[in-house]
Chain A
Amino acid sequence: MSDARPAQAAAAAPCDAARPFATVQRTRRNVVKWIVTAPPFLFLLVFFLLPSLIMVLASFRYPGEYGGLAPLGAATHPGTDHGLTVETYQFFFSSFIYTEIFIKSFIVALATTLICLVMAYPLAILIARSPRRHRDLMVLLVILPFASNFLIRVYAWMIILGPQSAFSHFVNSVLGVFGAGPVTMLFSPFAVLCGMVYVHLPFMVLPLYTNLEKHDPVLLDAAQDLGAGSWQRFWRVTFPLSLPGIFSGAALVFIPVLGIFVIPDILGGTRDILIGNLIENQFLTTRDWPFGSTLSIMLTLCVLATAGFAAWLARIGARRA
């Protein structure tokens, strides 16, 4: 097919040799472009974009009597003939409790991000300033825990923080010296935070390291020559230059934490429910799919807003630097 058409083109303009060649190239380029782009595009169109749109639609439907969605145009909902409603959104705002959970999730995500940042920074600096031949190994050591299953990494904290563990005994005996009562660490916000930081720490180290590695050591030498102390060199030179790395690391930690449900589920206590748990609950306990969809859409909006904010900050940071 694609061979036949250029031949016709060549016959139509015999005096201009360059143009048919260009046409052949262009047609071919288009065909190739189509072949390369279409399969991933179509796959994601069907299995990512379409489901997302369906979810938007589902948030405006009524819940089915036994779960799922009520059929469209169901007569069970007087006053509507189309089976669509904004009732679910009204329900969301009818009680402050849901907004509260969103705020709480933001706080947990922020705390996780900050702790990760504080822990990751020295490590990233150290790796970036190590001899080149050591760096790969040091980075590999950061990634390696990733190789164990996510659930196992969370489960490890169940053992560590459990009331019978050596760590618990140690903490409680230290507290005992100060006269403070014994504390239970498992099933608490503290346990949730431990799990969150543990699972997401590498996401902070890697972008930070990638950024710090690019810094020109000459800048620090220059600052030293100008009489800047080590703290000053850090705050005036290294830190501002690393802002883009911080922001991309922060986005990589903050966004997944917003939607997580497994960690509060396994390590959390009686108050630790986050957006993720709420969504999971609507689908896997309460059978309220429209409300689950509404919550998911709210979460998506939060994620988009966060990502936009991070991108904006990164752009400003880059401009300053």
Chain B
Amino acid sequence: MRRGLSLWIAAVLVYLFLYVPLLIVVVYSFNDSRLNAEWVGFTLHWYHVLFNDGDMLQAWANSLIIACTASIVATVLGTMAGIAMHRYRPKLLPFMVLTPVAMPSILLGVSLLLFFIQVLNLTLGMLSIIIAHITFCIGFVAIVVHARVAGMDDSLFEAARDLGATPWRTFRLVTFPLILPGVIAGLLMSFTMSIDDFVITFFTAGVGVSTLPLQIYSMIKIAVTPEVNAVSTLLMLITLTLIVVASRFAPDALRGKA
């Protein structure tokens, strides 16, 4: 019993460690001080500032466009990769799918920067960011989908085949409905990863295409006002909603994420 109690205390402390910092960010978003060093008084001023900050809104829009495009493309490619990895056991593909996920993201950012500038001579912008995001998102989708496919009974597909179904019909009527929770989980994960990414975007972003994390970074580096806290609070609220919605649509998705 004593042991159980100490476990609980340790766990509660860890949960506090996880949540108190975020709570502080939220609280300070209502701080009536430009310097934001100590608590001065309550205000909604910073939310007002935020909604009138054109650059910030533009960055929001960019982030959403990038995250939607990248996560949808990555989901299609990643699902293919996940299925292929299970069914055909290719040698090189798993390596190429998993490495961008596993290695420090600065490496991918830097190598893509070199490639875009030195080889493709591409003007950095929306396209370069989207490509970079797809590259690391494919892996997340493939892992989830692969886990899902691997957990399925192969005899189902054989049965469908024996009954004369074309591969496309088998996929549409048997495979896809079965892997759907995995696919949705992958989609949501890559969407979150894309919205959240700073490092890779930092290296592949061009002029005039700022994303939310880039905007937040420059605010933190140059002049921190509670506007940063305000945008953080809103962002948390939105992702929280997204997760609640996701758990409604695909209760399995969250387990897949774990």
Q: Which residues from A are CB-within-8-Å of B6?
A: 122
Is A39 a contact of B80 with CB atoms below 8 Å?
A: yes
Is B138 a contact of A159 with CB atoms below 8 Å?
A: no
Is B111 a contact of A259 with CB atoms below 8 Å?
A: no
- CA distance in complex: A145, B105 (Å): 20
Is B198 a contact of A119 with CB atoms below 8 Å?
A: no
Say yes or no: is B22 at the interface (Cβ < 8 Å to chain A): yes
- CA distance in complex: A148, B106 (Å): 20
Chain A interface, >50% SS class: helix
- CA distance in complex: A148, B104 (Å): 20
Contact with A along B13-26 (1 / 0, CB 8 A): 01101110110110
Chain B interface, >50% SS class: helix
Say yes or no: is A10 at the interface (Cβ < 8 Å to chain B): no
Q: Which of A275-308 contact B (CB under 8 A)?
A: 276, 279-280, 283, 289, 292-293, 296, 299-300, 303, 307
Q: Which residues from B are CB-within-8-Å of A279?
A: 106, 110
Residue of A nearest to B6 (CB): A122
- CA distance in complex: A35, B22 (Å): 45
- CA distance in complex: A145, B19 (Å): 7
Is B254 a contact of A140 with CB atoms below 8 Å?
A: yes
Q: Which residues from B are CB-within-8-Å of A198?
A: 17-18, 21
Other A-B pairs beyond A37-B84, A262-B199, 19, CB < 8 Å: A40-B81, A44-B135, A55-B110, A123-B15, A136-B254, A146-B192, A148-B232, A149-B213, A149-B232, A152-B235, A158-B220, A165-B38, A230-B3, A255-B104, A259-B105, A262-B217, A299-B104, A303-B107, A307-B102
Residue of A nearest to B212 (CB): A149
B41 to chain A, nearest CB (A): 16
User: A41-B96, A48-B100 in contact; A300/B107 too (CB < 8 A)?
Assistant: yes
Is A47 a contact of B105 with CB atoms below 8 Å?
A: no
Contact among B25, B198, B242 with A156 in the assembled complex (CB-CB below 8 Å): B25
- CA distance in complex: A52, B232 (Å): 34
Say yes or no: is A319 at the interface (Cβ < 8 Å to chain B): no
Is A293 a contact of B114 with CB atoms below 8 Å?
A: yes
Interface size class of A (residues with CB under 8 A): 35 or more
- CA distance in complex: A40, B36 (Å): 47
Q: Which residues from B are CB-within-8-Å of A122?
A: 6-7, 10-11, 14
- CA distance in complex: A40, B76 (Å): 9
Contact among B87, B112, B161, B232 with A51 in the assembled complex (CB-CB below 8 Å): B112
Say yes or no: is B240 at the interface (Cβ < 8 Å to chain A): yes
Say yes or no: is A68 at the interface (Cβ < 8 Å to chain B): yes
Say yes or no: is A314 at the interface (Cβ < 8 Å to chain B): no
Q: Which residues from A are CB-within-8-Å of B118?
A: 54, 58, 68-69
Say yes or no: is A99 at the interface (Cβ < 8 Å to chain B): no
- CA distance in complex: A260, B103 (Å): 11
Is A123 a contact of B196 with CB atoms below 8 Å?
A: no
- CA distance in complex: A159, B257 (Å): 30
Tell me the count of chain B residues lying within 8 A, CB to CB, of chain A: 85
A284 to chain B, nearest CB (A): 8
User: A37-B90, A54-B115 in contact; A143/B236 too (CB < 8 A)?
Assistant: no
Contact with A along B79-111 (1 / 0, CB 8 A): 011011001101011001101101111111011
Q: Which residues from B are CB-within-8-Å of A75?
A: none
Is B117 a contact of A28 with CB atoms below 8 Å?
A: no
Q: Which residues from A are CB-within-8-Å of B8?
A: 126
User: A44-B138, A296-B111 in contact; A151/B213 too (CB < 8 A)?
Assistant: yes
Contact among A51, A139, A159, A259 with B258 in the assembled complex (CB-CB below 8 Å): A139
Q: Which residues from B are CB-within-8-Å of A164?
A: 37-38
Q: Which of A11-49 contact B (CB under 8 A)?
A: 25, 28, 32-33, 36-37, 39-41, 43-45, 47-49
Say yes or no: is A201 at the interface (Cβ < 8 Å to chain B): yes
- CA distance in complex: A37, B84 (Å): 6
B256 to chain A, nearest CB (A): 12
User: A44-B135, A260-B104 in contact; A55/B96 too (CB < 8 A)?
Assistant: no
- 6 closest residue pairs by CB, A with B: A259-B104, A156-B21, A122-B10, A51-B115, A147-B239, A40-B81
Contact with B along A113-130 (1 / 0, CB 8 A): 000000110110111000
Say yes or no: is A261 at the interface (Cβ < 8 Å to chain B): yes
Say yes or no: is B47 at the interface (Cβ < 8 Å to chain A): no
Is A259 a contact of B106 with CB atoms below 8 Å?
A: yes
Q: Which residues from A are CB-within-8-Å of B88?
A: 33, 36-37
Q: Which residues from B are CB-within-8-Å of A45?
A: 96
Say yes or no: is A141 at the interface (Cβ < 8 Å to chain B): yes
Say yes or no: is A256 at the interface (Cβ < 8 Å to chain B): yes
Say yes or no: is A250 at the interface (Cβ < 8 Å to chain B): no
Residue of A nearest to B92 (CB): A41
Say yes or no: is A144 at the interface (Cβ < 8 Å to chain B): yes
Contact among B7, B80, B107, B243 with A259 in the assembled complex (CB-CB below 8 Å): B107
Q: Which residues from B are CB-within-8-Å of A256?
A: 104-105
The listed residue with most B CB atoms (<10 A of its CB), out of A54, A148, A261, A276, is: A148
- CA distance in complex: A258, B232 (Å): 26
Q: Which residues from B are CB-within-8-Å of A44?
A: 93, 96-97, 100, 135, 138
Is B110 a contact of A40 with CB atoms below 8 Å?
A: no
Is A123 a contact of B111 with CB atoms below 8 Å?
A: no
User: A259-B105, A259-B106 in contact; A147/B240 too (CB < 8 A)?
Assistant: yes
Contact with A along B200-217 (1 / 0, CB 8 A): 000100000000110011
